[in-house]
């Protein structure tokens, strides 16, 4: 690891609970403040928002709020509010066809979606050098409270978003509806899963990486072909990353998911380059150019995400690992598993590699390992949730005595994994749970104290979300078992369908619902719950409570493709994780 990359410990924001209806936001694709050519609003003028344009900037003749709105990183007294102005999201310059002038953007926060009870407002500059993005961090808000927000520039009013603050740090009880997602390859399908997630009305959304993909059109093709194309070349420049993120954020289904709840975001590899590790590119000969590419990628990532100012990038470095508390109910330890890791052993891929066990190697970096251990030791939460990117548990890909595992996952850094597990065992963490993205399939896996010993005790649970679209339509296995489960006793469930995971966290249990869309190559498909698991308070390991092998014909759901052979399933798994 480069010595200059030792991460600093970020300051900690925090999340909250509760729920009121926001179906209006979802069903209408967000509540928009419509606007018009004559310069007036359609309907009554929103209270508290001045319609006068900035005298220093030219009037915008079309709607600049094409990328929607978002919020994130809630604390007991605040939250981040985000938007970005773009007249044409696909403009090749990366500026969204905006005039190269700064604009004054008004923002407003209220207790109701009609803004009859405004509580906070202000003006913020949308600067050219930030691609006209804005990040507002209102404070002094009430803990555990639902709010609505919107923006205005000139006569144009943004869609309305819904957010909430975290409960106070000492708040007990209550329930949290949290969803987590990852891996949305725009070309591979439609973002229906984001729309269905919004309709499920979570209080909080965790995005665990691969929010966008860097490939040029048709470079990464899903089985059966792609349904949409990326605009522009492979992303390596600031203009390219800005354009690519704008293309994704112009999707109405993704906008609905952002507007329904605050998000906690962390990146994985495709926000920069497939399988990058610290200073090493996927293709090592391209590594000298990686610092500049990282700087461009992180600048665009910050500009397009509801991140706090503590995450403003510094050249090729950005601070995104952080801890967020949801009262006394849960602590979220959000990890960065790319920026500080040692290079993958044995040239990446699946391998039986002695170097994978070396104790001088780390996946999150030694400083982040220590930060995580300190968080476990100081936690007073009922649930300690680790939000991270790559498969945590063991997945030996062969039935033979060797240990052929993914070098890009924690299996490729076994000593690092052992240290993390030991740190929560040593701290006597009450309920440790790992949440994971990356692998384009739903998995459930027990965390063993020692994955090398078949009789090792279970010390935690890992739940892995499938992709939003990456890999195309996918398929189901009626038994819910991957072939590797026969020789990896920690593996409890798998399906290769696309979707997301809903959780409901209470003091007594954490419930997990694996949500699946029937197809992603056709828009607006239905969603169903494939399987459900529960972790009881104080009980190590998970209990399956619901299994729906195939969706019901009566519900209007398409019959799923026939299961693949075991060899095909293994090949599909390894192929998906190559990207």
pLDDT (tens digit per residue) in 141-183: 999 999 999 999 999 999 999 999 999 999 988 999 999 999 9
Is 485 found in the same domain as 344? yes
Is 511 found in the same domain as 406? yes
Is 188 found in the same domain as 311? yes
Q: Is residue 24 part of a domain?
A: no
Instruction: Quote the pLDDT of residue 361.
Output: 98
Listed residue (384, 506, 395, 388) closest to 444, CA to CA: 395
Is 147 found in the same domain as 172? no
Separation of alpha carbons 33 and 39, rounded Å? 13
Residue 574 pLDDT > 70: yes
Instruction: Quote the pLDDT of residue 477.
Output: 87
* Residue 100 and residue 154 in contact, taking contact as beta carbons nearer than 8 Å: no
- Kindly report the CATH number assigned to the domain that includes residue 140: 2.60.40.380
Residue 356 pLDDT > 50: yes
Exposed e or buried b per residue across 393-406, where buried means at least 16 C-beta atoms within 10 angstroms of its C-beta: bbbbbeeeeebbbb
User: What confidence tier does 19 reach under pLDDT thresholds 50, 70, 90?
Assistant: very low
With residue 199 as reference, give the H or E element that holds it.
helix 192-199
Last residue of a domain, one of 164, 187, 213: 164
Which residue's entry shows tokens 């399906």?
495
Is 156 found in the same domain as 180? no
User: What confidence tier does 4 reach under pLDDT thresholds 50, 70, 90?
Assistant: very low
Instruction: Quote the pLDDT of residue 57.
Output: 81
User: What confidence tier does 319 reach under pLDDT thresholds 50, 70, 90?
Assistant: very high
Q: Is residue 22 part of a domain?
A: no
Q: Is residue 381 part of a domain?
A: yes
- Work out the average pLDDT over 79-98: 98
- Kindly report the CATH number assigned to the domain that includes residue 456: 3.60.21.70
- Work out the average pLDDT over 78-95: 98
Q: Is residue 439 part of a domain?
A: yes
Determine which of 39-48, 356-365, 411-420, 463-472 has the lowest per-residue pLDDT on average.
Answer: 39-48
Instruction: Quote the pLDDT of residue 557.
Output: 52
* Sequential DSSP letters for 455-485: TPPEEEEEEE---SSTTTT----TT---GGG
- Work out the average pLDDT over 217-239: 97
Is 217 found in the same domain as 160? no
Would you say the pTM of this structure is higher than 0.85? yes
- Chain centroid to CA 23: 22
Q: Is residue 331 part of a domain?
A: yes
Q: Where are the beta strands (DSSP E) in 353-441?
A: 383-387, 405-406, 432-436
Residue 386 pLDDT > 60: yes
Q: Is residue 131 part of a domain?
A: yes
* Sequential DSSP letters for 133-157: EEEE---SPPTT-EEEEEEEETTEE
Instruction: Quote the pLDDT of residue 478.
Output: 87
Is 263 found in the same domain as 138? no
Is 522 found in the same domain as 535? yes
Instruction: Quote the pLDDT of residue 551.
Output: 61
Contacts of 342-349 with CB under 8 Å at 24 or more apart are: 342/1, 342/277, 342/278, 342/413, 343/277, 343/278, 343/280, 344/275, 344/277, 344/407, 344/408, 344/412, 345/407, 345/412, 346/407, 347/407, 348/275, 348/282, 348/407, 348/408, 349/406, 349/407, 349/408, 349/578
- Work out the average pLDDT over 462-489: 96
Residue 38 pLDDT > 70: no
Secondary structure of residue 103 in the 3-state scheme: strand
Q: Is residue 23 part of a domain?
A: no
Q: At what angle do helices 238-249 and 252-260 cross, to 10 degrees?
A: 80
Separation of alpha carbons 540 and 534, rounded Å? 11
- Work out the average pLDDT over 12-41: 34
Is 394 found in the same domain as 529? yes
Is 542 found in the same domain as 530? yes
Residue 235 pLDDT > 70: yes
Last residue of a domain, one of 164, 186, 212: 164
Determine which of 23-32, 481-490, 520-529 has the lowest per-residue pLDDT on average.
Answer: 23-32
Last residue of a domain, one of 164, 190, 213: 164
Does 32 or 502 have the greater pLDDT score? 502
Residue 46 pLDDT > 90: no
User: What confidence tier does 10 reach under pLDDT thresholds 50, 70, 90?
Assistant: very low
A 10 A CB-CB count for 72 gives 26
Total number of domains constituting the chain: 2
Please give the share of the chain, as a percent, with pLDDT higher than 70: 88
Does 446 or 550 have the greater pLDDT score? 446
Instruction: Quote the pLDDT of residue 552.
Output: 53
* Residue 33 and residue 152 in contact, taking contact as beta carbons nearer than 8 Å: yes
Instruction: Quote the pLDDT of residue 562.
Output: 64
> What does the mean pLDDT of the chain come to?
90
Is 387 found in the same domain as 239? yes
Please give the share of the chain, as a percent, with pLDDT higher than 90: 85
- Full domain range(s) for residue 348: 3-17+166-578
Is 523 found in the same domain as 499? yes
Q: Is residue 103 part of a domain?
A: yes
Q: Where are the beta strands (DSSP E) in 62-187?
A: 69-75, 78-84, 103-110, 118-126, 133-136, 146-153, 156-157, 159-164, 176-181
- Chain centroid to CA 151: 24
């Amino acid at each position: 690891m480069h010595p200059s990359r030792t991460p600093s410990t970020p300051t900690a924001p925090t999340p909250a609970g509760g729920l009121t209806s926001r179906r209006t936001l979802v069903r209408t694709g967000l509540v928009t403040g419509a606007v018009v050519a004559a310069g007036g609003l359609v309907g009554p003028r929103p209270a508290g928002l001045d319609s006068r344009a900035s005298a220093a900037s030219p009037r915008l003749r079309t709607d600049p709020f094409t990328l929607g709105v978002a919020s994130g990183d809630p604390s007991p007294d605040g939250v981040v509010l985000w938007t970005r102005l773009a007249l044409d999201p696909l403009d090749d310059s990366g500026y969204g066809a905006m005039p190269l002038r700064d604009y004054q953007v008004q923002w407003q926060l209220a207790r109701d979606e009609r803004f009859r009870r405004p509580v906070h407002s202000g003006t913020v500059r949308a600067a050219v050098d930030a691609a006209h993005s804005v990040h507002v961090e209102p404070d002094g808000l009430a803990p555990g409270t639902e709010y609505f927000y919107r923006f205005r520039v000139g006569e144009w009013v943004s869609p309305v978003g819904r957010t909430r603050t975290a409960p106070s740090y000492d708040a007990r009880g209550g329930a949290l509806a949290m969803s987590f997602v990852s891996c949305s390859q725009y070309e591979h399908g439609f973002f229906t899963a984001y729309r269905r997630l919004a309709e499920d009305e979570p209080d909080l959304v965790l995005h665990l990486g691969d929010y966008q993909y860097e490939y040029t059109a048709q470079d990464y093709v899903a089985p059966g072909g792609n349904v949409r194309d990326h605009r522009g070349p492979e992303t390596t420049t600031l203009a390219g990353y800005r354009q690519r993120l704008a293309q994704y954020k112009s999707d109405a289904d993704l906008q609905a998911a952002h507007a329904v709840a605050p998000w906690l975001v962390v990146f994985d590899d495709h926000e920069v380059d497939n399988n990058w590790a610290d200073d090493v590119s996927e293709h090592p000969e391209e590594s000298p150019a990686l610092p500049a590419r990282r700087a461009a990628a992180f600048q665009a990532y910050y500009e397009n995400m509801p991140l706090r100012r503590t995450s403003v990038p510094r050249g090729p470095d950005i601070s995104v690992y952080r801890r967020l508390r949801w009262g006394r109910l849960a602590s979220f330890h959000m990890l960065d598993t790319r920026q500080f890791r040692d290079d993958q052993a044995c040239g990446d891929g699946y391998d039986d590699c002695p170097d994978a066990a070396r104790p001088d190697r780390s996946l999150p970096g030694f400083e982040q390992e220590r930060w995580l251990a300190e968080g476990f030791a100081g936690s007073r939460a009922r649930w300690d949730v680790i939000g991270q990117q790559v498969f945590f548990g063991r997945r030996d890909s062969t039935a033979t005595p060797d240990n052929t595992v993914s070098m890009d996952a924690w299996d490729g850094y076994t000593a690092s994994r052992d240290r993390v597990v030991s740190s929560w065992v040593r701290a006597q963490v009450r309920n440790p749970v790992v949440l994971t993205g990356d692998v384009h399939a739903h998995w459930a896996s027990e965390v063993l104290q020692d994955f090398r010993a078949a009789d090792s005790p279970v010390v935690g649970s890992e739940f892995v979300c499938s992709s939003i679209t990456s890999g195309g339509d996918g398929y189901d296995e009626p038994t819910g078992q991957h072939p590797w489960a026969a020789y990896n006793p920690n593996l409890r469930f798998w399906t290769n369908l696309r979707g997301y995971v809903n959780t409901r966290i209470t003091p007594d249990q954490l419930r997990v619902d694996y949500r699946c869309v029937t197809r992603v190559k056709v828009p607006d498909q239905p969603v169903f719950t494939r399987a459900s698991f529960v972790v009881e308070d104080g009980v190590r390991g998970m209990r399956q409570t619901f299994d729906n092998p195939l969706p019901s014909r009566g519900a209007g759901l398409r019959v799923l493709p026939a299961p693949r052979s075991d060899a095909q399933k293994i090949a599909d798994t390894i192929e998906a994780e190559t990207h």
